[in-house]
Chain A
């Protein structure tokens, strides 16, 4: 017997909605099995992982805080990938955004009015965009593959940050530990009452704006055409080079904004490590959201839930963070494979029929 995919005439509207739920059910079953194997009551395990984080205000806030950078970066990457531009260096652009945005508070710690926050956000976005422009330029000018250049620049940015906080930008009052002065007052993002900060709003705005741009504007159309049918794009007079630069500037800028938002909120200073891999996780978010800005929003929240739930499970159930990683991997696998049902029907054929068909 073998498994055969048959293309549907149209996208299945049923599965477009049902597939994430089907994936969730499959994950619950697989997850329950994993918990059972580790001697944990599966129902309790799943409750702690997926439900409990949503029952407390505190942990919902944490969920939003964690999702904000993922969504902000993911939505920019979604546009990139839609245009077939392979920026996988968002982590480096995030780092450079954080550095550029921190120039003002590090150089002028006494500067205390709303203007510094604006400057920080603009500089952060610019820093990310310009760092993103490097692989863009190398691609358009020298035809250097952007997968390699953007990835390599991640390491370079990380080491540059390391050098900065250990050398020139080190806080003189910090006992020679590698941190800058702590940001304060207007150097930090305002929050909405609790702990959720302006970054969440930026993420929402970015999703809405890009959903509009991609759906309703010529430039959005241009991006899709150059991605899906580059030849048609050339005939229509769309410049591929312009598109590459645009995508890198956009996704780099958003990653940079996410970077400065992180250091100007949760962390409150520059230190050697400012991101637990948001730039890489956002790649998953972009694809999980089917490269659709609104889908990215949900995907970001889901991935954030899997982090928060994984941590809750460590504390409450005493499982290791490795199980949480395995769980995430499985969840992603199921979601990716269930999406197949939107475009295809799955059929099983006996080996003989299959062989006959192949022979035809």
Chain B
């Protein structure tokens, strides 16, 4: 019996070594996800990006991910990947910022990329996408399509990305209809289909006829479809869930960035950057415009083209804040820092932010 166990243990160790050796030749790129890959939204889209790396770089890379990592556990998960031979590690949630910086200090030879944060180091880059560009486009569409002149907006948590999204949406809508209104409901969750559906029903009952969401599930769109109203997809193209209701969707396309950065890390050109890509770089794309008259679709496509070309910036001054003060110089876009840390509403938003 003892002998058998010994043999088994030896076999196990040999196997363990065997796998490590055979994988050592591949470049190891790793991801830390805040949610399950099966969330169909935020983490799902990051995983689509990871798979693109797999596809584009083929057998030169090996990709590994850890999913459902609680913020309190992030330290350990990131360090485990670094110890396990990952050469570049993408940490995909704001809450992973300090853990990423901490672990990066211990592993100077490993490259780290943190999504949506602001702290960097020689081996830590940050990346984010200008989702507000897409929100400006859907704001215009909403103002054209709404009969009641009111949109219902379901939101998760008041972080700058969400706040700047609301503002960009409103600015887009006001460029079409200056009196456009938005009703906002915070569900305090990124992800709870039931709650999101409840919030959508309430908003539609309160006079909104367009659903906008900054939460991850398809539930609000499905409710819009059930009630014969319209809405927009979030993170991914949700057309399959609401073929009659989805006007378009703001799609997170992390893939091109991931491929670019892994390549750079492999050929030694990687540097710590603070990337903030938008429509121009293909990081933010719009799902096909559907369920709308041709003139509305044309307007949306024109706006999208202008933003992509750089001739239109949603946050071009002067912008009137909710409290009546004016920010930004005429004809000039707001500085990036103002948008990345945005904590105020533009005029016309009927809600209060926690201060």
Q: Do chains A and B touch in the complex (CB under 8 A)?
A: yes
Instruction: Give A46 to B8 CA distance when docked, in angstroms.
Output: 11
Q: Identify the closest chain B residue to A51 (Cβ).
A: B12
- Evaluate contact between B83 and A58: CB separation under 8 angstroms: yes
Instruction: Give A48 to B67 CA distance when docked, in angstroms.
Output: 18
Question: How many A-B contacts if CB must be within 8 Å?
Answer: 100
Say if the beta carbon of B281 comes within 8 Å of chain A.
no
Cβ distance B248 to chain A, nearest Cβ, rounded Å? 28
- Evaluate contact between B72 and A266: CB separation under 8 angstroms: yes
Across the interface, which residues of A come within 8 angstroms of B65, CB to CB?
314
Q: Contact mask B183-195 → A, CB, 8 Å, 1/0?
A: 0000010000000
Q: Quick check: which of B13-21, B230-238, B260-268 contacts chain A, the rest being far away?
A: B13-21
Instruction: Give A241 to B83 CA distance when docked, in angstroms.
Output: 52
Instruction: Give A36 to B67 CA distance when docked, in angstroms.
Output: 22
- Evaluate contact between A272 and B157: CB separation under 8 angstroms: yes
- Evaluate contact between A167 and B354: CB separation under 8 angstroms: yes
- Evaluate contact between B354 and A163: CB separation under 8 angstroms: yes
Cβ distance B285 to chain A, nearest Cβ, rounded Å? 26
- Evaluate contact between B66 and A176: CB separation under 8 angstroms: no
- Evaluate contact between A178 and B159: CB separation under 8 angstroms: yes
Contacts A266-B75, A273-B71, A274-B72 given: A175-B15 contact, CB under 8 Å? no
Across the interface, which residues of A come within 8 angstroms of B37, CB to CB?
320
- Evaluate contact between B72 and A175: CB separation under 8 angstroms: no
- Evaluate contact between B72 and A267: CB separation under 8 angstroms: yes
Say if the beta carbon of B95 comes within 8 Å of chain A.
yes
- Evaluate contact between A176 and B159: CB separation under 8 angstroms: yes
Instruction: Give A154 to B302 CA distance when docked, in angstroms.
Output: 50
- Evaluate contact between B67 and A58: CB separation under 8 angstroms: no
The answer, among A46, A62, A178, A268, for a CB contact under 8 Å with B157, is A178
Q: Which of A41-70 contact B (CB under 8 A)?
A: 41, 43-44, 46-48, 51-52, 58-59, 62, 65-66
Across the interface, which residues of A come within 8 angstroms of B68, CB to CB?
321
Chain B residues with a Cβ closer than 8 Å to the other chain, count: 45
Q: Quick check: which of B216-224, B291-299, B317-325, B335-343 contacts chain A, the rest being far away?
A: B335-343
Instruction: Give A207 to B66 CA distance when docked, in angstroms.
Output: 33
Contacts A58-B83, A166-B157, A166-B354 given: A311-B66 contact, CB under 8 Å? yes
Cβ distance A10 to chain B, nearest Cβ, rounded Å? 30
Instruction: Give A277 to B76 CA distance when docked, in angstroms.
Output: 16
- Evaluate contact between B36 and A321: CB separation under 8 angstroms: yes
Q: Which of B34-48 contact A (CB under 8 A)?
A: 36-37
Contacts A162-B188, A182-B98, A315-B66 given: A271-B71 contact, CB under 8 Å? yes
Across the interface, which residues of B come within 8 angstroms of A175, CB to CB?
118, 160, 337, 340-341
Q: Contact mask B150-167 → A, CB, 8 Å, 1/0?
A: 000000011110010000
Q: Contact mask A311-332 → B, CB, 8 Å, 1/0?
A: 1101110101110000000000
Q: Contact mask B80-104 → A, CB, 8 Å, 1/0?
A: 1101100000000011001000000
Across the interface, which residues of B come within 8 angstroms of A267, CB to CB?
71-72
- Evaluate contact between B19 and A44: CB separation under 8 angstroms: yes
Across the interface, which residues of A come within 8 angstroms of B140, CB to CB?
none
Main secondary structure of the interface of B (DSSP, over half): helix
Q: Identify the closest chain A residue to B354 (Cβ).
A: A167
The answer, among B16, B64, B77, for a CB contact under 8 Å with A44, is B16
The answer, among B9, B11, B94, for a CB contact under 8 Å with A177, is B94
Q: How large is the interface on A (under 10, 10 to 19, 20 to 34, 35 or more residues)?
A: 35 or more
Say if the beta carbon of A152 comes within 8 Å of chain B.
no
Across the interface, which residues of B come within 8 angstroms of A182, CB to CB?
98
Instruction: Give A196 to B227 CA distance when docked, in angstroms.
Output: 56
Q: Contact mask B16-32 → A, CB, 8 Å, 1/0?
A: 10010000000000100
Say if the beta carbon of B79 comes within 8 Å of chain A.
yes
Say if the beta carbon of A13 comes within 8 Å of chain B.
no
Say if the beta carbon of A232 comes within 8 Å of chain B.
no
Q: Identify the closest chain A residue to B84 (Cβ).
A: A315
Across the interface, which residues of B come within 8 angstroms of A312, CB to CB?
80
The answer, among A167, A311, A318, for a CB contact under 8 Å with B355, is A167
- Evaluate contact between B72 and A273: CB separation under 8 angstroms: yes
- Evaluate contact between B81 and A315: CB separation under 8 angstroms: yes
- Evaluate contact between B76 and A321: CB separation under 8 angstroms: no
Instruction: Give A318 to B30 CA distance when docked, in angstroms.
Output: 11
Contacts A43-B11, A48-B16 given: A269-B98 contact, CB under 8 Å? yes
Instruction: Give A59 to B67 CA distance when docked, in angstroms.
Output: 19
Say if the beta carbon of A91 comes within 8 Å of chain B.
no
Contacts A176-B343, A177-B159 given: A43-B8 contact, CB under 8 Å? yes
Across the interface, which residues of B come within 8 angstroms of A266, CB to CB?
72, 75
Say if the beta carbon of A262 comes within 8 Å of chain B.
yes
- Evaluate contact between A321 and B72: CB separation under 8 angstroms: no
Say if the beta carbon of A276 comes within 8 Å of chain B.
yes
Q: Identify the closest chain A residue to B75 (Cβ).
A: A266
The answer, among A41, A274, A321, for a CB contact under 8 Å with B15, is A41
Instruction: Give A266 to B65 CA distance when docked, in angstroms.
Output: 22
Across the interface, which residues of B come within 8 angstroms of A322, CB to CB?
36
Instruction: Give A176 to B163 CA distance when docked, in angstroms.
Output: 10
Across the interface, which residues of B come within 8 angstroms of A47, CB to CB?
9, 12-13, 15-16
Instruction: Give A276 to B65 CA distance when docked, in angstroms.
Output: 19
> Which 8 A-B pairs rank lowest in CB-CB distance, beginning with the nearest?
A276-B70, A167-B354, A175-B341, A47-B12, A176-B343, A43-B12, A44-B15, A273-B71
Q: With A58-B83, A316-B84 given, can you name 10 additional A-B contacts, CB distance below 8 Å?
A: A44-B19, A48-B16, A51-B12, A58-B79, A175-B160, A276-B72, A312-B80, A315-B64, A315-B84, A320-B67
21 contacts between A and B (CB under 8 A): A44-B15, A47-B9, A48-B16, A59-B80, A62-B76, A66-B76, A159-B188, A163-B354, A166-B157, A166-B158, A176-B341, A266-B72, A266-B75, A267-B71, A274-B71, A311-B76, A314-B66, A314-B67, A315-B30, A316-B84, A321-B68
Give A contacts to B, CB under 8 Å: 41, 43-44, 46-48, 51-52, 58-59, 62, 65-66, 159, 162-163, 166-167, 175-178, 182, 262, 266-269, 271-277, 308, 311-312, 314-316, 318, 320-322
